[in-house]
Amino acid sequence: SSHYQQWLLDKQDLARERQADLKVMSEDEYEKCMIFFANFIQALGEQSKVRQQVIATATVYFKRFYARNSLKCIDPWLMAPTCIFLASKVEEFGLISNSRLITTCQTVVKNKFSHAYPQEYPYRSNNVLECEFYLLEMMDCCLVVFHPYRPLVQYVSDISSTDDSILPLAWRIVNDSLRTDVCLLYPPYLIALSALHIACVIQQKDLK
């Protein structure tokens, strides 16, 4: 798949691509910036009432774009809703109208992110459509993203002794992993296994 062939990178790749950004911010600041915008995408998705799969795909798109481009290339405040817009179509959630998306951005920025962006949200529908073109071009139209959710559910069902609390915790750990680089570095099945392992450690379950 294109996910495996083109979008599993190594840490050296990421470090090299981020050189321009790391000239003006530390690695720690860069990571915090990525966490911030993953949270922004999550908030946009929740406000738009899309499925978690759409939010996850949008977050991966966002990370893929900035794995190949500087943060100065396109404003992340515009790229984030563009990723939600494209992911909602790819994941067959149904098209979110441009006007509704912009209204959602204005609401979320004002209510939840005004500490970071005190002025009014500046972008409009035409900006999202133009940004979508650049996003599609950069990803070479490789839009299908495989997530750890399906293998995670399979692993949990294979362990018949597992109680009901393991899956929700492991699922949340997978969601949290979207705030890191792991979706760019490791295949989904490995992320699912790791999330399951962490969940078992937290709950002190010994799964054989």
pLDDT tens, position by position, 44-80: 999 999 999 999 999 999 999 999 999 999 999 999 9
Residue 66 included in any domain: yes
Q: pTM for the full model?
A: 0.93
Are residue 155 and residue 108 in the same domain, yes or no?
A: no
Are residue 83 and residue 122 in the same domain, yes or no?
A: yes
CA separation (Å) from 30 to 22, 23, 52, 108, 166? 7, 11, 25, 22, 32
The token pair at 190 is: 């490995």
Q: Per-residue pLDDT tens for 71-125?
A: 999 999 999 999 999 999 999 877 788 889 999 999 999 999 999 999 999 999 9
Are residue 97 and residue 168 in the same domain, yes or no?
A: no
Are residue 134 and residue 169 in the same domain, yes or no?
A: no
Are residue 76 and residue 117 in the same domain, yes or no?
A: yes
Residue 207 included in any domain: no
Shortest CA distance to 177 belongs to which of 138, 148, 202, 201?
Answer: 148
Residue 166 included in any domain: yes
- DSSP codes of every residue in 5-46: HHH---HHHHHHHTHHHHTTS-HHHHHHHHHHHHHHHHHHHH
Domain of residue 176: give its range: 149-202
Dihedral sign (CA 193, 9, 59, 88): negative
Looking at residue 35, its pLDDT comes to 97
Are residue 177 and residue 118 in the same domain, yes or no?
A: no
Residue 124 included in any domain: yes
Residues of the chain above pLDDT 90, percent: 81
Side chain identity, residue 58: A
Residue 143 included in any domain: no
Are residue 133 and residue 168 in the same domain, yes or no?
A: no
CATH number at 117 reads: 1.10.472.10
pLDDT at residue 202 above 70? yes
For residue 195, with 0-12 CB atoms within 10 Å meaning exposed, 13-18 middle and 19 or more buried, which class applies?
A: buried
Residue 208 included in any domain: no
Are residue 24 and residue 101 in the same domain, yes or no?
A: yes
